[in-house]
Amino acid sequence: MTRKKIVAATGCPTGIAHTFMAAEALKKAAEKMDIDIKVETHGQVGIENGLTEKDIRDADGVIIAADKDVNTDRFHGKRLVEVPVARGIRSPEDLINQIVGEVAPIHKVKGNESTSTAASGREESDSAKAGSSKNWVHAIYKNLMNGVSHMLPFVVGGGVLIAISFLFGIHSANPDHDSYNAFAAFLNSIGGLAFSFMVPILAAFIAESIAKRPGMVLGFVGGLLADQGGAGFLGGIIAGFAAGYIIILLQTLLKRLPKSLDGLKSIFLYPVIGILLIGAIMTPLMAPVEALNTGLMDFLSTVQSTNPLILGVIVGAMCGFDMGGPFNKAAYLTGTALLTEGNLYFMAGVSAACIAPPLIIAFATVFFRRNFTKEEQNAGLVNFVLGSTHITEGAIPFAAKNPVVVIPIIMFGSSIAAVLTYTFGVQVPAPHGGFLVLPVVTGAIQWVFSILVGSLIAAVIYGFYRKKVAKNQPVEE
């Protein structure tokens, strides 16, 4: 009997952890089920182990476990399962079974008449129904995260350089101040330049996810308008989606033009008409979005100073709930947006809450070694490194084994870390880096103390839970 062949693509916004964890989970499940699989990863360094036309042609189906655009057009005519990247980590066998059992719908690309699969009329009808009822929330999230994944290197690189410049003094980049330092000014200038691309890049790649390259052009222009008009992060998101759907509209309106004018449409009509339209849409939106943006920032700043307990619990729960997923990213992006406004307090709590989950796991595997397998103990040690560098996703495999119990424990520990951080008034000027940015943290000792307290308390709770489980199910050596 011929072995089934499946191809897959995985990708997450940061392209660091979820991407490769999902790929590994799919490979392990396929090996266990005697299935041939090739997984293409869309990490921060780009596409690795790319799928060839032959790989796709020979495959019985395709699994997409991604929160970013991975170009699904090339899978026309194939059975396709498309889910968030977290599903690829949690339930890879279920995804594979949807392909093997031929329950996954046939993927159809609008305008592509060639079909590589002899699907029945019923299958095509089911596929159309599946396509029309596709989870639009995930589609919007995927487009948004495509923008975020391309934006993050600018934010992290620029933000860390700005933070390093503060080592020479908070005003060391100001030529009129006594603490002025030429090298610090250089770092601040270069970092600020990289940071200034945040909103245009975000908008450009949201639009690119929706409408490919023509959308990217409009998104970049819309993002620049939002940035220069004071609409900031929220304006960039609006510009990105508006730009993408403007191109979709233009493609619909101009589709009756002769095929010979396709080149003219791409190089002339789409950019000229599209840029005009995105300008017309964004210009009147600038003032209300700027007001909304300012109001949101002021509200968060007020809550942060008047009620750090509530804010810490909210931020900690969001960061610990899905560890790199939508809620975690919402808190992180809010912190990043506040950094651009000069608010260094909010990101301190977000960072603490993101660092805590892997440390919770790491400490638990050290203090309660007998209740973890050898493989889990090794993974726990790795989590010390991941947590220290602000990579939250290392806790996911442990949480996935019993999310109902483990996730609340992680949320509790993250919340303690965030609450203490806000209570101490810690300031973190860098959007990423974990303990690597300690030299530029104001209140570094209090920050580390907050993280360790939250991590250790939750680690003990998690350890006792594992001890209880081990009594009923002895751990295999």
Catalytic site includes residue 12: yes
Choice among 6, 8, 12, 437 that is catalytic: 12
Tally the residues of the chain.
477
CA–CA gap between residue 184 and residue 295 (Å, rounded)? 32
Torsion of CA 277, 278, 280, 282, to 10 degrees: 160
CA–CA gap between residue 456 and residue 389 (Å, rounded)? 18
CA–CA gap between residue 19 and residue 441 (Å, rounded)? 30
Name the β-bridge partners of 288: none
Backbone angles phi, psi at 475, to 5 degrees: -70, 130
Would you say 361 and 383 are in contact if contact means Cβ atoms under 8 Å apart? yes
- Pairing between β-strand 61-66 and β-strand 36-43 as defined by DSSP bridges: unpaired
Q: Which residues are catalytic?
A: 12
